[in-house]
Structure 1
Amino acid sequence: MSVTLPDLPYAQDALEPHISANTLSFHYGKHHQAYVDNLNKMIAGTPHDGASLEAIVTESAINSDMQGVFNNAAQIWNHTFYWHSMSANGGGKPTGKIAELIDRDFGSYDEFKSAFAAAGATQFGSGWAWLVLKGEKLEVRKTANADTPLTEIGVTPLLTMDVWEHAYYLDFQNKRPAYIETFLDKLVNWDFANQNLAAA
């Protein structure tokens, strides 16, 4: 069974005016779809044909001969996680368990916000900013290109923000910091983070 493009968790115009339907039509409909198409071509007739996406990501991450497979599989996983990391009613300070842990591990929401924004702004070139649980403690991470904390033992991804230019360029042009601020103030889905925390 081939890997399929998962449905968006909302309509393509649901994040407007912050992320436009035009951006999602390209980002989801073209970029995300291309990773799915490329991966299916690469794994056709191999032992990975029919494996779960998570298994393909973790197994290809440790095999230097499978860099192309990893790049496409990890980007499918990262993008799917990113769509769920945003909500039409998102943004602002968290509530629930994630709020407690942010205060405990960063000192305050504002300190977390500064660290997360810095991770996104200082990721040179393409990549991702993450909030993860490592052991019992929250950490902010940044990864380049398709790299993902999914491959790290003992690390649970809770949220991600895409900082590849195609994530924001149609709406924000070269203003990555404005996109990051909008993500945190208007879009970030704390319910999703709490769900991932509860499942960790």
Structure 2
Amino acid sequence: MEKAIDAKTMKLHHDEHHATYVEELNSALKKYPDLRNRSVETMLRDLDGIPEAIRTTVQNNGGGHLNHTIFWQIMSPKGGGQPTGQIAQEINKTFGSFEKFREQFNAAGGDRFGSGWVWLVRNAKGQLEITSMPNQDNPIMKDRYPIMGNDVWEHAYYLRYQNRRAEYLNNWWNVVNWEEINRRWQASSQQQ
């Protein structure tokens, strides 16, 4: 993945940041054993059903865990290139071309003020759309299925790119795992 993200950033990002989200979520759930049988997705879809004492912790750390799990899955050192399969057809149908989609996706990531994520999602009508969410919020909190997302928190890119988020966003496409994104597109149709 060195062509887009350096190994030191990946190690810190995974072993420190992501691990902390998991630890904090598990710690919050210790007092609520009935919640431990629920998936993170289920908890985030129904935050109002989470006890108020841990709701923000579940939102932030459960979201951080889910976001990063998706992030690691949709990247590959052998990734990059043009989209393939059904997602390529859907991107062309929705955005006109891969290049137009990529420009809009990067613009949404670049425009995210502060920390957050840029997402390609399937909305409740079954259509693709690009959205940006603050902090560790996940699109499933807004009844959207996340197909792919890019982390625009500074910890995702700062060691290599410093304040050059646009360069990070452009280079990130070199590791996109289109096979996994196609799998997520297929899975999204079962969530409708």
Counterpart of 2:15 in structure 1 is: 29
What TM-score do you get using the length of structure 2 for normalisation?
0.90
What root-mean-square deviation, in Å, do the aligned CA atoms of Structure 1 and Structure 2 show?
Answer: 1.6
The share of aligned pairs that are identical, in percent, is 39
Aligned residues: 184
Please give the alpha-carbon distance, in whole angstroms, between the structure 1 residues aligned to 2:38 and 2:22: 14
Could you tell me which runs of 5 or more consecutive residues in structure 1 were left unpaired when the two chains were aligned. 1-14
Is the Cα–Cα contact under 8 Å of residues 114 and 153 in structure 2 kept in the other structure?
Answer: yes
Between the aligned partners of 1:181 and 1:62, the Cα distance in structure 2 is 39
Deviations 1:48-72 (A, max 9, x none): 1332222222233665821122110
Task: Give SS of 2:37's match.
Answer: coil
- The structure whose residues are more often helix, as a share, is 2
Q: CA deviation at 1:195?
A: 0.5
Distance across 2 between alignment mates of 1:64 and 1:45: 10
The answer on 1:193 being equivalent to 2:181 is: yes
Q: TM-score, normalised by structure 1?
A: 0.86
Q: For structure 2, list consecutive stretches of 5 or more residues without a partner in the other structure.
A: none
Contact 1:61–1:151 under 8 Å retained in 2: no
Residue 100 (structure 2) pairs with residue 114 (structure 1): no
- In the alignment, the residues of structure 2 paired with residue 45 and residue 172 of structure 1 have an alpha-carbon distance, to the nearest angstrom, of 41
Which 4+ runs in 1 deviate beyond 6 A?
Answer: none
Query: Mean alpha-carbon deviation: is it higher for 186-195 or for 27-36?
Result: 186-195
Greater relative contact order (Cα < 8 A, sep 6+):
2
2:84 is paired with a residue of what secondary structure?
A: coil
Which among 173, 176, 199 is matched to residue 165 of structure 2? 176
Task: Show the counterpart of 2:2.
Answer: 16
